[in-house]
Homo-oligomer: A and B are copies of this chain.
Amino acid sequence: MNTRQPLNPTLAEVGEREAINLIAAHAPSPRNGDDAAVLEHDAPNSQTVVSTDMLVQNRHFRLDWSTPAEIGKKAITQNFADVEAMGARPKAALLALSVPAHTRVQFVAELARGIGERVVEYGAELVGGDITDGDAVVISVTAVGQLGGSLPELCLDRARPGQHVVASGEIGASAAGLALLQRFGRDNIPEEFAPLVQSHCAAKVPPGRGFVARSAGVSSMTDNSDGLIVDTRNIARRSNVSINLFSDAIAPSELLYAAAELLQADPWEWVLQGGEDHTLIGTTTSAAPTGYRVIGRVDHRSEGEVLIDGKTPLFDGGWSSFATST
């Protein structure tokens, strides 16, 4: 049926303007709609924190594994996690979106709904964006946060010997979810593993965890996006320290063991090099802040090694955008 107002129209049928209106309807903000968005500051001395991450179809998500709303949520979470990892509060997001012209408008609406729901959880807004024709779905989100008060931001290079290593959030769940999707596809995964699939398709980072950490004395922080060992090593190298993780504190959950048994996999691989959980990992001289647990210790000055119970980890790779030849 090629009527003037199709029931399930494509972007080519409705055009750019209508697509923008739909996005703004699902993720509204009074700051949206001009050449650029103007953000107010909460406090006179607050600083602005910015970060960007890009999700490419079939590399960071698959349309047969994730709903459009989940993809939107994932895009926000992984960007806002970077802002939280500085100890800042996410306040705004920008969305640049490339989609094929034959894409259903409904896809864009659902993507925007997921984005809108997730930004609202943070008390943030989608304040602007761009939409353009392209061969694949490419989602680029920029997160803007605010860092108030006079405490320093949580940098990678501020781990100090003697500190606790603390973490907030699950480790390995996203990788387990991915492994299940790879084996079974979305619709044939045993129901008990739904939380792992959810972790992969629309990971959550509780709003305010970074702010709490900064207020409670955490000095360095990152989020587990590329793998626990890789991301922890990032702190270790930048701070010139050695970090020792406690195997008891990061051991796979029962659900991970169950999934591993089903898939004949080693759940430690998911824990150590899985990534995409966006677990916040920090170091502090004080006690673990609310919502955090101790998972290790900063040992001594070094070139930046990460050990587990004093030994070299069994798995220490992680996500990298391009395969390396060496």
- Report if A215 contacts B (CB, 8 A): no
Query: Inside 8 A of A14's CB, which chain B residues have their CB?
Result: 322, 324-325
Which of A142-150, A169-177, A262-270 binds B?
A142-150
Contact call B135/A135, Cβ cutoff below 8 A = yes
A128 to B53, CA, bound (A): 10
- Report if A1 contacts B (CB, 8 A): no
- Report if A51 contacts B (CB, 8 A): yes
Contact call A324/B54, Cβ cutoff below 8 A = no
A51 to B96, CA, bound (A): 10
- Report if A156 contacts B (CB, 8 A): yes
From 127 to 177 in chain A, residues with beta carbon under 8 angstroms from any chain B beta carbon are 127-136, 138, 140, 142-145, 147, 153, 155-156
- Report if A179 contacts B (CB, 8 A): no
Which of A81-89, A190-198, A240-248, A306-314 binds B?
A81-89
- Report if A321 contacts B (CB, 8 A): yes
A16 to B142, CA, bound (A): 20
Number of interface residues of A (CB under 8 A): 75
Query: Inside 8 A of A142's CB, which chain B residues have their CB?
Result: 50, 52, 94, 96, 142
Query: Inside 8 A of A35's CB, which chain B residues have their CB?
Result: 51, 81-83, 85-86, 156, 221-223
Query: Inside 8 A of A221's CB, which chain B residues have their CB?
Result: 35
Query: Inside 8 A of A98's CB, which chain B residues have their CB?
Result: 54, 56, 138
Contact call A322/B11, Cβ cutoff below 8 A = yes
- Report if A40 contacts B (CB, 8 A): yes
Closest residue on chain B to residue A326 by CB atoms: B4
Closest residue on chain B to residue A18 by CB atoms: B324
A37 to B38, CA, bound (A): 18
